Chain A
Amino acid sequence: MADLSDKTRLMTDDALLDSERFAQRHAASGRSGPLAVEREALGSDYRATGYTTKAQADQLGRVLDLRPGKLLVDVGAGCGWPGLYLADTFGCSVVSTDPVPEGAVAARDRIVADGLEDRAISVVATGDDLPVRNGSVDAIVHSDVLC
């Protein structure tokens, strides 16, 4: 029982550390250094830290047949990658969701900056409780969310 308790405590400490790292990383992700690294690694500038490159985002748009009039939900979009990019590139509408308020706020700011207010919205939500009506969505992406 002591072993289990120790493991549980360690896992909790790790989770807290990851959470702190995430918050620190997120706060810094909009600065010039991390943005330059992101551009060179992924080809994006959405404060993304995952592995979905611009070429792979384009592939997602093609396999999901995104185009004007279609509604996309991006689950765990962080600051909007790749959902806002897909809306901008393929002309679809998008609901960008993230459970972290800071990410959803950054996505909202990006929507305004890119002039996507008429077909993009950013919402704080988890993947288990999507802010859309059942049966209303054409496509859903959640790249690297399960990672």
Chain B
Amino acid sequence: MLRASRRALRPGGRTAFHVIELPSGLDDRQRRRAVSIGPPVVAVRTSHESLLRSAGFVDVEAIDATAEYLDTQHRWLAATLRHEDEMRATLGDDMVDDGLERRRRTIDAIADGLLVRTLYTARR
């Protein structure tokens, strides 16, 4: 997808995207926990910075957005609980319960330093 993005961009055009990933320095146990909780992309061992450079992008910058990610997860959780009855009526108990459990596990993983969110910017 990054190569397709680069092809589509005019020379000097820019891409920007947020991605959830693993911080460096996790031991095997931490990594297994993070991979079990995070989105599938976190299992990729190659850094997004490397992927961008391999695709031909230059001026690659990474801006940490983990604090905002944690705050957003808390806000999703709080908002879901505020509207819990309506959410259960709309989505069903199983989906709401599963979503709340996933949300809480993710919040714990972020707070424990196992998941980070990064804004990458790069230029063709």
Interface of A with B (CB < 8 Å)?
A: 21, 24-25, 28, 31-34, 36-38, 40-42, 51-53, 55-56, 59-60, 63-65, 73, 75, 126-130, 132-147
Contacts and interface: CB of A to CB of B under 8 A. Distances in A.
B54 interface: no
B79 A40 contact: yes
B16 A139 contact: yes
Contacts of A52: 18
Nearest to A15: B40
B68 A142 contact: no
A33 B89 contact: yes
B20 A31 contact: no
11 contacts: A24-B91, A31-B90, A63-B121, A64-B14, A75-B5, A129-B4, A133-B8, A135-B8, A140-B13, A142-B17, A147-B20
A130 to B, nearest CB: 5
A29 to B, nearest CB: 9
Q: Interface centre among A24, A37, A53, A59, by most B CB within 10 Å?
A: A37
Interface of B: 1, 4-5, 7-11, 13-20, 39-41, 48, 65, 68-69, 72-73, 75-76, 78-80, 82-83, 86-87, 89-92, 95, 117, 119, 121
Contact of B90 (A34, A56, A73): A34
Contact of B4 (A33, A65, A127, A136): A127
B48 A41 contact: no
B18 A144 contact: yes
Contacts of A140: 5, 8-9, 13-16
Given A25-B95, A33-B89, A141-B17, A53 B72 contact: yes
B95 A130 contact: no
Contact of B76 (A41, A63, A138): A41
B95 A21 contact: yes
A135 B65 CA distance: 30
Contacts of A128: 1, 4
A137 B14 CA distance: 9
A137 B13 contact: yes
Contact of B8 (A21, A73, A126, A141): A73
A75 B13 contact: no
A135 B11 contact: yes
Nearest to B7: A134
